[in-house]
């Protein structure tokens, strides 16, 4: 009976789908890399929700598929998978609604000063809180700049443009038409003209450090930077300097360079910084959706079929023992 290894628990519906097809499902027997090595030693497929040890695939001789239960796959050693002939899949768009709505929530908190209003109301009273009404701004007619127009960026552009009447600038590195209502802009214009700059691009060697000190230095003094991409896309130290110097309005980070950050991280002392623990894409609905999609990719491979979303398609013709014969 084929074995599907998990890096961490997945949605019950996804487990039921796999077991209903006659597959065994197993979690690591212990924490840490040794647990991954143990569960993958006999695994035919691996569903990934946590970073993998770089040598894990070399120590998994039966593995026929690595299925990412999510979008980003920068913590999977895709180069090793490719060298070993193992397809790697992901679920593009699986959490796009959740992440886009999270960004909208962050913009609303920032534009209406909701945290400040709540804190002031509780500690200093009604009059003090209501006196800050003139610090609030409307999103309508403000400019949103999106770096990365994949599923998340496109959904965010629709909500912001159609729902809030925002002007939307978009920058993408790949060729292709921009979504309706999105104005094409280079990186410099996105940073200099936007009231909210949203990073929603994958982390690659080309995008690492894309939000540099020089680029963030072009932002308006009241503009906000929102990162739902990966921590490595921006220069975190430069951002902290800008916040402490009051040179931008604020920032909202769902991703950081080090996750989780240490308790003494300078992030926790930065002014006008909203922090969330890399959960923008996590709602019960989105987690179940991405887990089921990953499980379906496993079933396709177990049937000898080509997965739908292969991130290293060059290996498919040479993938090891794809039919299990």
Task: Look at residue 322 and tell me whether its pLDDT is greater than 70.
Answer: no
The backbone region for 219, taken as left when phi is positive above 0, alpha when psi lies in -120 to 50, beta otherwise, is: beta
Q: Structure pTM?
A: 0.88
Task: Look at residue 323 and tell me whether its pLDDT is greater than 50.
Answer: no
Task: Look at residue 2 and tell me whether its pLDDT is greater than 60.
Answer: yes
Distances (CA, A) of 61 to 53, 65, 89, 236, 320: 15, 11, 18, 39, 10
What is the rounded distance in angstroms from the CA atom of residue 62 to the CA atom of residue 3? 10
CATH code for the domain defined by 96-275: 3.40.50.720
What is the rounded distance in angstroms from the CA atom of residue 146 to the CA atom of residue 171? 6
pLDDT, one tens digit per residue, over 229-238 is 999 999 999 9
Q: Where are the domains of the chain?
A: 3-93+284-318, 96-275
pLDDT of residue 201: 94
Q: Annotated catalytic residue: which of 278, 288, 300, 306?
A: 278
Average pLDDT of the residues in 80-94: 95
CATH superfamily entry for domain 3-93+284-318? NAD(P)-binding Rossmann-like Domain (3.40.50.720)
pLDDT, one tens digit per residue, over 26-79 is 999 999 999 999 999 999 999 999 999 999 999 999 999 999 999 989 999 999
Average pLDDT of the residues in 269-288: 96
CA 162 to chain centre: 23
What is the rounded distance in angstroms from the CA atom of residue 199 to the CA atom of residue 302? 36
Q: Annotated catalytic residue: which of 68, 155, 230, 289?
A: 230
155 is an active site residue: no
pLDDT, one tens digit per residue, over 165-213 is 999 999 987 757 788 999 999 999 999 999 999 999 999 999 999 999 9
Domain 3-93+284-318 and domain 96-275 have a common topology:
yes
Q: Annotated catalytic residue: which of 259, 303, 305, 314?
A: 259
Compute φ and ψ for 273, nearest 5 degrees.
Answer: -130, 120
317 is an active site residue: no
Cβ neighbours of residue 66 under 8 Å, at least 6 residues apart?
Answer: 45, 46, 48, 57, 76, 81, 86, 87, 88, 89
Query: In what order do the strands lie in the sheet containing 273-275?
Result: 182-184, 167-171, 143-147, 196-199, 224-227, 250-253, 273-275
247 is an active site residue: no
């Amino acid at each position: 009976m084929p074995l599907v290894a998990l890096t961490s628990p997945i949605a019950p519906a996804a487990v039921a789908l796999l077991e209903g097809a006659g597959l065994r499902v197993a979690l690591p027997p212990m924490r840490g890399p040794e647990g991954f090595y143990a569960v993958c030693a006999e695994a035919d497929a691996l569903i990934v929700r946590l970073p993998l040890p770089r040598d894990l695939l070399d120590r998994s001789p039966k593995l026929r598929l690595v299925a990412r239960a999510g979008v980003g796959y920068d913590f999977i050693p895709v180069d090793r998978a490719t060298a070993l002939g193992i397809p790697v899949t992901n679920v593009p768009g699986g959490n796009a609604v959740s992440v886009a709505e999270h960004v909208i929530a962050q913009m609303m908190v920032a534009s209406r000063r909701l945290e400040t209003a709540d804190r002031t109301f509780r500690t200093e009273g009604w009059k003090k809180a209501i006196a800050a009404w003139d610090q609030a701004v409307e999103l309508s007619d403000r400019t949103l700049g999106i770096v990365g127009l994949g599923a998340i960026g496109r959904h965010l552009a629709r909500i912001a443009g159609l729902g809030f009447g925002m002007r939307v600038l978009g920058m993408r590195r790949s060729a292709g038409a921009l979504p309706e209502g999105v104005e094409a802009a280079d990186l410099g214009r996105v940073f200099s003209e936007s009231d909210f700059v949203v990073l929603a691009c994958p982390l690659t060697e080309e995008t690492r450090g894309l939000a540099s000190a020089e680029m963030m230095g072009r932002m308006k003094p009241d503009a906000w930077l929102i990162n739902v991409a990966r921590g490595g896309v921006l220069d975190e130290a430069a951002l902290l300097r800008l916040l402490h110097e009051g040179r931008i309005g604020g920032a909202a980070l769902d991703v950081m360079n080090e996750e989780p950050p240490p308790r003494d991280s300078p992030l926790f002392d930065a002014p006008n910084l909203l922090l969330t623990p890399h959960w923008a894409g996590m709602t019960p609905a989105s987690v179940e959706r991405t887990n089921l999609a990953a499980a379906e990719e496993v079933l396709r491979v177990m049937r000898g079929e080509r997965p739908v979303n292969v991130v290293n398609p060059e290996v498919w013709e040479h993938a090891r023992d794809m039919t299990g014969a």
